[in-house]
Structure 1
Amino acid sequence: MSDDNFIDLFRQEGQEIIKLANTISNNDVLKLVEKIKNCKGNILLTGCGTSAMDAKKATHTLNVIGVRSFYLNPSDAVHGSLGVVDSQDLVIFISKGGSTKELTSFIENIKKKNAYIITITESPQSVLAKAANMIVKVKVDQEIDEFNMLATTSSLAVISLFDVVACILMKKKNFNKKNFLANHPSGDVGERLNKEVS
């Protein structure tokens, strides 16, 4: 692969995210923001494989802006961790295909607890989508690997969704630099905030 081809891969991934901005439902994104903002309990995100990494990134981003969020490990969920879920919680399933067995195995248990379920998927007809109270469709046309199978662009798309959600929530919550510093006092971000807030 030539250097030019490497650059093209960056361009392809960026173009897919631009296309997502034109295809994702504005209403769904705003509804997701409101559901997270108004949640009286905890925000629990879950997923398997690369979707687990996306869920963990989204959890961290929400925590930084003061939204109480946790990653729910699917294998631990069915071995007792479902005990953390109650009717005031929001449970977000992230699954590209929407039928991952490790996730579908306990979605009925979540429903019995009357938690509000949101599924982030590219497949609105999937098992997880049909079981959810709300669906946000996140679909890209092309992964950037040669087989169109490696979760590359699709993973970035989910992370981008939660980045956008977090930025909207920051404005709605009047989240300021002082709040930011309280949650992120270390690293380069903490140093910069210390200088700007003091």
Structure 2
Amino acid sequence: MDDRDRLIKEAKEALRIEAEAVYALIDRIDERFVRAVEIIASCRGRVVVTGMGKSGLIGKKIAATLASIGTPSIFLHPAEGSHGDLGMVSKGDVVIAISNSGETAEIVSILPILKMLDVKIIGLTGNTSSTLAKASTVVLDVSVEKEACPIGIVPTASTTATLAMGDALSVALEIRRGFKKEDFAFFHPGGSLGRRLILRVADLMHTGDAVPMVKIDTPMKHAIIEISSKRLGMTTVVDDNLNLRGVIT
């Protein structure tokens, strides 16, 4: 087998392993999952997502997705949390803590403070007997049979499974809250969907002194100054009664 064939074979195997890791989560969507959804749905504060390393990167995406569906969410770096950033967490918040081993030192170190704050903790972990699992209000099992990398160490299938579980939580929350595309557009005014559903002509048009305007008998050099100063690349041309007679671009 040449290098090209081996690369193709290993890439396909990686995708197969990750696909199976995600598929295995289906049988774990149970009452614990429903409870996690209800905890987030009833949260009166913010959802604080925390994780270290690759789990942290997945956590940032989960927090961003939750925010995009109207759930106030932030990411807390657990190492920074031990040095003051735990002030971001308040009673009434919900914490989603991510650790494949469930024993990540930076996560474990902030658990006692989170318990003192009396916040509910949703643990996403591959070890349901871990310190994180024992400290969590509800545990979602994201364990995988093996990682997709050839040496079996680099977080690949485990991070994919965690991301998929986060997406499943978000989708379930959308259903729980009756989230519609108009709601999504409201939180995405800069996107094409937001512009199409939310923005009106009145939100974009120029009015009053912002509109370039010259009279019919205005010298051309003054019209050019008006075009340049208003920065719209044009000017309207009006008569003495301010009726539009034309435009110059």
Q: TM-score, normalised by structure 2?
A: 0.73
| Alignment pair present for 1:49 and 2:53 | yes
- Matches of 1:135 and 1:163, distance apart in 2: 16
Count of equivalent residues: 194
Residue of structure 2 in register with 1:169 after alignment? 173
Partner of 1:59: 63
Match of 1:68 among 66, 72, 77: 72
The alpha carbon displacement at 1:92 in A equals 1.5
Aligned AA for 2:20? Q
- Of all paired residues, the percent bearing the same amino acid is 30
Query: Secondary structure at the residue paired with 1:106?
Result: helix
CA distance in 1, matches of 2:128, 2:83: 28
Match of 1:129 among 107, 130, 133: 133
Q: Mean Cα displacement is larger for which, 40-49 or 3-12?
A: 3-12
Equivalent residues of 2:95, 2:121 under 8 A apart = yes
CA RMSD of aligned residues (A): 1.7
* Of 111, 119, 122, the match for 1:115: 119
Equivalent residue number for residue 16 of structure 2: 11
Question: Does structure 1 retain, via aligned residues, the 8 Å contact 2:48–2:74?
Answer: yes
Q: Which has the higher helix share?
A: 1
Q: Report the CA distance between 1:153 and its aligned residue.
A: 0.9
Secondary structure at the counterpart of residue 129 of structure 1: helix
Matched residue, 2:145: 141
The one of 94, 104, 118 aligned to 2:108: 104
* Higher CA-based Rg: 2
The AA in structure 1 aligned to 2:192 is E
**Unpaired segments ≥5 residues, structure 1:** none
Cα distance, 1:78 vs structure 2:
1.6
TM-score by length of 1: 0.91
Question: Distance in 2 between the 1:15 and 1:116 partners?
Answer: 30
